[in-house]
Structure 1
Amino acid sequence: MKRTAITFTLISALLTFGQAGAQQHDHGGHAAHAQTAPATGTGAWAPSAPGVAIPANSVYQVPTPLTDAAGQRFVLKDAAGAPLLVTMFYGDCHSACPVVIETLKRTVGALGPDGKRLRVLLISLDPKRDTPKSLAMMADMQKLDPAQFRLAVAGSDTDTRMLAAALDIRYRPLDNGEISHTTRIVLLNPDGSVRADSNKLTVDPDPEFVKQIATALKR
């Protein structure tokens, strides 16, 4: 609980910073815009329970707009109403990220028929280089079903930091252009609160994590 409180205090501070700098940065107005206008497209993720209550500790409290591989804008709250798997990656990652993506695919497979109902969101850590077009190419290369797997990118480094803080994912750009980052995969409840997580970097699904997901899908 203490970590959650610290995380959402940090998010509040980042939101204040982003709003204060809106006149000085091309992407600075995104967070404020998301509070007054709906996303222009939610793809296959129209809310399955639009009236679901969003608690104060929900990741869905983060209003940062994202753009997916189809060029559609949305916010995390658009996924409310069903369990969601979410993690962060970047397109030019050739070590941990391919393993994480394979883990996600195998985790979905381990759930059997119920796995088809699970939504999976991968958010880029590299808004300077990852674009909807490059994300679409990656999704195609990885054979990710766009109805289930959604790759997306925020509009700025500040927005990306805000999302990473909410998901408790740590990352740091390196001088060689790579990004050092944790490989946390988070399972969110329909209201956006964290239900479970896995940090295991292996292509084989985490058995306990799979059980948690299966239970969430049955509710």
Structure 2
Amino acid sequence: MRRMAKDRTILILGCLAAVLLLATGGLWLSRGEADAFAPCRKGLEAGGLDGLGAPFTLTDQNGARVTDRQVLAGPALLYFGYTYCPDVCPMDSARNAEAVAILDQRGMRLTPVFITVDPKRDTPEVLRDFTGAMHERMIGLTGSPAEIDAVAKAWRNYYRLNDQEDPENYLVDHMTNSYLVMPGAGTVGVFDRELSAPELAERAACFIDAASIAGI
């Protein structure tokens, strides 16, 4: 009886040790994966990006319904704006397009994505003219007001239409961040508009390299 009790104790302790090993090993692996982009963050806390983004279905500049899996199949640079914007949106979109062109020269493919926050005026045709003037690979996305509201909230991007006085000619308040999204990793970087195109390209290249090295 004593031998059976001893054997049972050893078995239980062995199981507990195995569970502990798996738990700590899994924790180490998860930390290692989370740290893959640490050298690229420039002080940006990884935890602050948790939960950014969500699945979506929107309409592209060609009138096709597309999902996040299609749009974000490779590294992508997301920007929320509107084509009637008098200055900020065209400047930021041109900066993003230039950064993408710089990465093209380095053999790194990054897709610029422009998501409108003004779906009433930004039809697929309007978006096609806008994105075509920026970069040949830029994807323009629109949708119903509810769809745009949902995707903007998913990336915590605030916007407000000031169309109370004039429903045709109005401005839209919105945030001007650009979001770097990587397949298998989600949103890994948020860039403000103060970065130049070369600086943005360099920051994005760091993330793309890190993902390649980590096998993400």
Aligned residue for 1:169?
A: 157
Report how far residue 67 of structure 1 moved: 0.9
After superposition, the Cα gap between the structure-2 partners of 1:69 and 1:103, relative to the gap in structure 1 and judged at 3 Å, is: same
Equivalent of residue 120 in structure 1, options 112, 126, 137: 112
What is the TM-score of this pair, normalised by structure 2? 0.65
Residue aligned with 1:111, SS: helix
**1:151 corresponding residue in structure 2:** 140
Moved runs in structure 1, 4+ residues, more than 3 A? 1-5
Q: Percent identity?
A: 22
**Aligned equivalent of 2:186, options 173, 187, 193:** 193
> What SS does the aligned partner of 1:109 have?
helix
Could you tell me which residue of structure 1 aligns to residue 86 of structure 2?
A: 94
Q: Secondary structure at 1:117's aligned position in 2?
A: coil
Q: Which string of whole-angstrom CA distances, capped at 9 and with x for unpartnered residues, describes residues 96-126 of structure 1?
A: 1111111112211332524661111111111
Question: Displacement, 1:199?
Answer: 1.4
Whole-Å Cα distance in 2 between the matches of residues 101 and 115 of structure 1? Answer: 21
Query: 2:207 aligns to what SS in structure 1?
Result: helix
Q: TM-score, normalised by structure 1?
A: 0.64
Kindly indicate which of the two structures has a greater share of residues assigned to helix: 2
Unaligned runs of 5+ in 1: 6-56
Whole-angstrom CA distance in 1 between matches of 2:47 and 2:139: 31
1:84 corresponds to 2:76: yes
Whole-angstrom distance in 1 between the partners of 2:182 and 2:108: 17
Structure 2, unmatched stretches of 5+, are: 1-45
Specify whether residues 68 and 80 from structure 1 end up closer, same or farther in structure 2 by C-alpha distance, changes over 3 A only. closer
* 1:87 partner letter: Y
Does the 8 A contact of 1:114 with 1:214 survive in 2? no
Q: What secondary structure, in the 3-state scheme, does the structure 2 residue paired with 1:196 have?
A: strand
In structure 1, the residue matched to 2:5 is none
1:3 positional shift: 6.0
Does the Cα contact within 8 Å between 1:186 and 1:197 map onto a contact in 2? yes
SS in 1 for 2:112: strand
Indicate how the Cα distance of structure 1 residues 81 and 139 shifts in structure 2: closer, same or farther if over 3 A, else same. Answer: closer
- The alignment of Structure 1 onto Structure 2 pairs a total of residues equal to 160
Greater C-alpha radius of gyration = 2
| Match status 1:215 vs 2:206 | yes
The C-alpha deviation readout for 1:159-180, integer Å capped at 9, x for no partner, is 1111111122111111452101
Deviations 1:63-101 (A, max 9, x none): 3x2111111110112234421111111121112111111
Distance change >3 Å, CA 178–CA 100, structure 1 → 2: same
